[in-house]
Structure 1
Amino acid sequence: PIPLPTASPPLQLLSSDRRADRPEVTLPLRKRLSIVHRPGYEAGESSAAAAARPIEGRRTDYGFVGSVEDTQDIYGVMEDAHRRQTEMFQRVETLVDDSRYHYETGRLVDQEARCSREAWAHSIGLSSA
C-alpha cells in the first residue's frame, strides 16, 4: 500500500514587518563558512558571475563552461588545419599546372630550335635531300 501524503501546514498571513517574515536560523559553522562571500565578490553582483570569475592565484575548473571553451578551441585548431591544408592543395595544383606549362614551353623551344637548325642547314646546302 502507498502511504497517503500528509497535509500541508496552514498558510500564515503576511506581515508588514519584513524582519518578522524571516525565521531565525542557526546554521552550523561549516555551513556559515560556505556561504561567506569570498574575496573578489562585488556587492550587487550575482553569485554566478562571481563564481565564473577566477580567484587570483587559483585555477578553477568550470566543468561545462570549460568543456565548451575547450571545444571551441579544438574547432578553431581544426579550422586552421583545414585552411592550411586547403592552401597546400591549391599550391600543389598551381605547381602541377605550372609544370605542365613549363613542359609545353620546353617542348616548343626544342621544336623551334630543331626547325631553326634544319632551316640553317637547308640555307647552306646541307639538307639530306
Structure 2
Amino acid sequence: MKQHRKSGCDDLAQLARSILKGKGRLHDGVARAAGGLVGLFGRPKIERVFAQELARRVPLPVDAQLSVAARGLQIAGIYICVVGSRDPADCACLLDVLRAEGKERLEQLMQGAMEDWRCLPRRMRDDAAG
C-alpha cells in the first residue's frame, strides 16, 4: 500500500490554523458567558448582545502567546518551503500569513525570524557548554 506523504509546511499550517481557531473559540466562550451572566440579572436581550460583543473583543491574557505561536509555526513552514524549493503558490503557511497579515507584515515577520535564527548556532553552543 502506497502512503501519501505531505510535503512542505502543510502540517505546520494546519497546526497554526488550529491554534488560531482555538483562540477564536475561547473568545466565543467568554462572550457566551458574559451574555449569560447579564441574562441572569434579567437584563433585556440588547444588553446581553452588547455584553457578548464587548466580551468577545476584549483581549485575553493568552491572545498574544497564541498568536506568536501560530505565526512562528507559519514562518518556520515558509522556511521549509523555501529550503525545499517549493512553489510559493503551494506554500500553505505563506498563503495563510499573506491572507491574514498582508505582504508588508509578512516581510516584518520574516526579518524578525531571520534575526532570531541568526543567533541559534550560538545559543546551541551555549546550551551544550552550560
Q: Same fold (TM over 0.5)?
A: no
Relative contact order, CA 8 A, sep 6+: which one is greater?
2
**How high is the TM-score relative to the length of structure 1?**
0.27
- Whose helix fraction is larger, Structure 1's or Structure 2's? 2
**How high is the TM-score relative to the length of structure 2?**
0.27
